[in-house]
Amino acid sequence: MGDLNQLLYTKAVLSGFKGRILEVGSKNYGNTQPFRNLFKGCEYVGIDLEGGDNVDHVVNLEEGAGPVAGRQFDLIIICSVLEHSKRPWVIAEHIQSVLAPEGAVLSCHPWVWRYHKYPDDYFRFSPKGIMSLFPKLQHWLPALYATSIQGEFVSFAENEGIDNKLALFNDDGRKHLPYLQSMMTGTASVATHQILLDRFSRNMKKNPALVPTTQHIRPDSA
Distance, in Å, from the CA atom of 100 to the CA atom of 122, rounded to the nearest integer, reads: 29
The predicted structure's pLDDT at residue 199: 87
The predicted structure's pLDDT at residue 13: 92
pLDDT category of residue 112 using cuts at 50, 70 and 90: very high
Write out pLDDT tens, residues 56-105.
999 999 999 999 999 999 999 999 999 999 999 999 999 999 999 999 99
Whole-structure pTM value = 0.91
- Higher pLDDT: 214 or 83? It is 83
Q: Are 123 and 92 in contact (CB under 8 A)?
A: no
Could you give the angle at the alpha carbon of 130 between the alpha carbons of 14 and 205, nearest 5°? 40
